[in-house]
Structure 1
Amino acid sequence: MWRHIASNALTFFVILVFLVGGGVIWAQREYETAGPLSEAICLEVPRGSNMSRVSEDLAEQGAVTSATLLRLGADYSDKTQSLKAGSYLVPENASMAEIVDIVTRGGASTCGTEVIYRIGVNSAEVEVRELDPTTGRFEDVAEFDPAADEVPEEYTRVREASDTRYRVALAEGVTSWQVVEELRSVDVLEGEVEVPEEGSLAPNSYEVAPGDSRADLIDRMQRAQEVILSEAWANRAPDLPLTGPEEALVLASIVEKETGVAEERPQVASVFVNRLRRGMRLQTDPTVIYGITEGQGVLGRGIRQSELRQATPYNTYVIEGLPPTPIANPGRAAIEAALNPAETQYVFFVADGTGGHAFAETLDEHNENVARWRQIEAEQGEDTQAN
């Protein structure tokens, strides 16, 4: 009898092991298989939330088949305590394992509302936009000039939301004075800041959070520029007529201000490098303008002949070589072009009417290009008068 009982118990135990094992295999497969979402969604994880509330939210939105199974999977993979607040894009058919990875990975939020403070060469604007999870594209909600326009209600609304993300975007060629002036109007940042050295800020897009220090943001921009300049200097072309990274930054800033077409940077850089090698004056208008404005805003008019003749440290029609400092904050591409210019014999260039330039090796060629440009200017003037 006891032998029969023992045999039945052993059989029951074996069946139980198989059932549990099968259940684990099923649960693991369910946790890792494609989920039921037919369209991507934006999942908000509020500060102070937990995996239990997130899993219930996901179940309500039809993103997972079982809130319990998602919690168990997060526990089993030791990710429950790694939940990060933010707004996250959950793609269609995302598995539970993928969703848990998304909400615990950290880093910037991937969807929701975003405010971008754009600092441009000629203007600044604040852009409010939201990601449409079904298309993966940002849709503009509001745009305004903080110096001239009334603050729209859309901006006030998103400023009060806890999951709104913020970025400060610097355009290539802005001056340090412009950056500081515009940062003072960014109302999510705090603290005063002095105008840093010209050229020391890396144009880029920087994630910020309410309460961040303006000085800390400037420090991030400077560290980024130091890294870019150091890497470019280490990989520079041989025999450049530059004494060090500081002069490279000056040259890069001139290239940045002279370039309307990004692809032309290496050619524009080659003109200035060739002029430096031959002992020719650089004769570039942006340096003259910087000497007039000191980087504080846009000149807003043409350069006068008296200003072209005036001896200033930045008048490259008068001085030899490079000006004493950069004239703007150049981007990575301009820095790399200055340190790896195209191999040309160009020493002249002039606008060609398309936004780019016509390059020349000789003065005769240059004069022909100038004559064509003058003709284009005259024709454009006639068209303006006709309109």
Structure 2
Amino acid sequence: MSNGQDYSGGYYDGGDSRYLQQEDYQHQWPPHQQQEYPHGGQWNGEQYSYPHDGQRKGERYGDPHYQQQPQYGWRDEAHYGHHGYDPRQYEAYAPQVYQARPVGARGAKERRRKRNPFLAALVTLLLLSGAGFGGYYTLDEFGFFGPDDYTGSGNGQNAIIEVRQGDSGGEIAKTLTAAGVVKSEVAFLAASARNPDSKTIQAGWYKLQKEMSADAAVLALLDLKNRYVKTVVVTEGMSTFDIYKKLATELGRPIQDFQDAAKDPVALGVAETWFTRKDGRAITFRSAEGFLFPATYEFDPDTTPEQALKAMVAKFNQVTAEIRFTESVASKSAYSPYEALIAASIAQKEVRSAEDFSKLTQVLYFRAYSRRFSCNCLKADSTLNYFFKLNGSPAKPSKDITQAELEDESNPYNTYAHSKMPPTPIGNPGKTALNAAVNPADTSYRYWMVIDASGTAAFTSSQSTHCSNTKKAIQAGLPARPC
């Protein structure tokens, strides 16, 4: 400030053309010095207003609301600052500087003459892009002739990136640049501005190539074929422990994490009302078995065990709602929706076709709830095998199941030793089997047997005919147990 000069009481720094001004002059300057100002200025007793004279219109010096901050000083072609003020007061109180700049028609004309229309259009595009995507970029970043960009659709090297839910265009641009997919953030923002479909880019993981042009990157993100997901196929009838094993392999998580996540099915979205029975058997524990709907699922790489299982339960809830499973079964007095779900899971294991599903659910209901079938035992080998696998043992063909195992009452899934439906479903049935449990066939069958390798099932109401069918199965090479 040593080179400052006095301009009619104002203060001008001749070194860098800056003018320092007091922040709150109306309270600090002597009242007699605030009465008159050159160039048409007016003082209303509270603040100084400068009327429009080609330079300013309605601007108020020292007003803290003017352009969001106080304005300190003003320069025209001949004068600097407000006249008649002690420069020491300016120096003591002014916290900011006001950059001197040329004004008037001549200066504006000179500036207009220097403008580059191509550059102006480029900067306008950049500003629009930055505003739309939550970013601000300078001309240095943008480049005089346009943003730095690659050409082509990539160099063949893959990059896995994530577009998070709620990401702005600027955030996506940063992710792509950091991964080496695009050369600059500005290039991606400019390409996004050129492509109106960029607004529909979905959250998720993507498998892209490195060194793509920004336009190619936008198109790649719009193509769902580039989504990077883990595909898990759950087939009809798969048990929970098989599903957990598959999920652990595909998602790279310990199987124990899935077992722990499934301990509370209600927390996964299973309604508590499912866990009721009408047959008198108590529900001693709640299992996720039966509620993990078989389908093809696509999970993001960072999907948690809980999220994966919730997606399967949500699919189950959707399908059962579509076929009105609980409403239809609730109208039947003999069994609850949960017991019908168990029947569907057994039918899914024992037979193959939709027609056979409905016949078998009718047989199961007849055996479990009719007084015309002795012991009300289902006598289904699939339930015994479920218990074997539940305890870490392999399933057995029917011919290899011993008599002791058929008589083992300690096995709660032994439907030879225990009546009614087993404690839980023994797998996860698909929509066809669920439909069959809601709409069993109108028959009086009591027995069933798969008689050939193609899965043909023979149903009958006669035990002697059933034994004949068993012989056919053995002759066809199936591992059936003699009648």
Q: Same fold (TM over 0.5)?
A: yes
Q: TM-score, normalised by structure 2?
A: 0.45
Q: Which one of 319, 322, 333 corresponds to residue 228 of structure 1?
A: 319
* Partner in structure 1 of residue 228 of structure 2: 164
Cα pair 1:83 1:103 within 8 Å, conserved:
no
CA–CA distance in 1 between the matches of 2:241 and 2:360?
Answer: 25
Cα deviation, residue 103, structure 1: 8.0
Indicate which of 263, 287, 301 corresponds to 1:210: 301
Count of residues in correspondence between the two structures: 253
Specify the code of the residue in structure 2 equivalent to 1:239: K
Instruction: After TM superposition, list the pairs within 5 Å mapping 1:34-45 onto structure 2.
Output: none
| CA-to-aligned-CA distance 1:298-330 (integer Å, 9 cap, x gap) | 425531121011113211112111111111122
Which residue of the other structure, out of 45, 65, 82, is the alignment partner of 2:200? 82
Cα shift at 1:228: 3.2
Structure number with greater CO (CA < 8 Å, separation at least 6) is 1
**2:448 match: secondary structure:** strand
| Residues 378 and 315 of structure 1: CA distance in aligned 2, closer, same or farther (over 3 Å) | closer
- Counterpart residue identity of residue 225, structure 2: C
The equivalent position to 1:333 in structure 2, one of 411, 416, 432, is: 432
Q: Secondary structure at the match of 1:313?
A: coil
| SS across alignment from 1:185 | helix
Asked whether the equivalents of residues 282 and 317 of structure 1 are also in contact (C-alpha less than 8 Å), the reply is: yes
**What whole-Å deviation, never above 9, does each CA across 1:222-252 have from its counterpart, x for those lacking one?**
232234345312234953631x222122111
- Structure 2: segments with no counterpart, 5+ residues: 1-158, 164-171, 175-189, 208-218, 264-286
Query: Please, which runs of 5 or more residues in structure 1 have no aligned partner?
Result: 1-43, 51-67, 89-101, 113-162, 381-387
Q: Are the aligned partners of 1:266 and 1:342 in contact in 2 as well (CA < 8 Å)?
A: yes
Residue 345 of structure 1 is matched in structure 2 by 444
Which residue pairs with 2:225 in the alignment? 111
Note the alpha carbon deviations across 1:66-103, whole angstroms, 9 max, x for none. xx9x977x54xxx4433448889xxxxxxxxxxxxx98
Question: CA offsets, 1:133-163, max 9 Å, x none?
Answer: xxxxxxxxxxxxxxxxxxxxxxxxxxxxxx4
Matched residue type, 1:294 = L
Map Cα deviations across residues 255-293 of structure 1 (whole Å, 9 max, x no partner).
111123344211111211222342432111011122333
SS at match of 1:173: coil
Aligned AA for 2:385? Answer: I
Tell me which amino acid in the other structure corresponds to 1:305: Q
Counting only pairs closer than 5 Å after superposition, residues 187-198 of structure 1 correspond to structure 2 as 187=251, 192-193=257-258, 194=260, 195-196=262-263, 197=287, 198=289
Aligned residue runs from structure 1 range 61-72, under 5 A: none
SS in 1 for 2:249: coil
Contact 2:343 2:437 in 1 (8 A): yes
| 1:355 corresponds to 2:455 | yes
Deviations 1:159-217 (A, max 9, x none): xxxx4332211111121122223322234568923144222211111111111111111
Task: Provide the alpha-carbon RMSD of the alignment.
Answer: 3.8
1:1-387 alignment runs, 5 A limit: 48=172, 75=196, 79-84=197-202, 110-111=224-225, 163-187=227-251, 192-193=257-258, 194=260, 195-196=262-263, 197=287, 198-230=289-321, 231-236=324-329, 239=332, 241-242=334-335, 244-279=336-371, 280=373, 281-294=377-390, 296=392, 298-300=394-396, 302-311=400-409, 312-353=411-452, 354-377=454-477
**TM-score in terms of structure 1 length:** 0.55
Structure possessing the higher radius of gyration over alpha carbons: 2
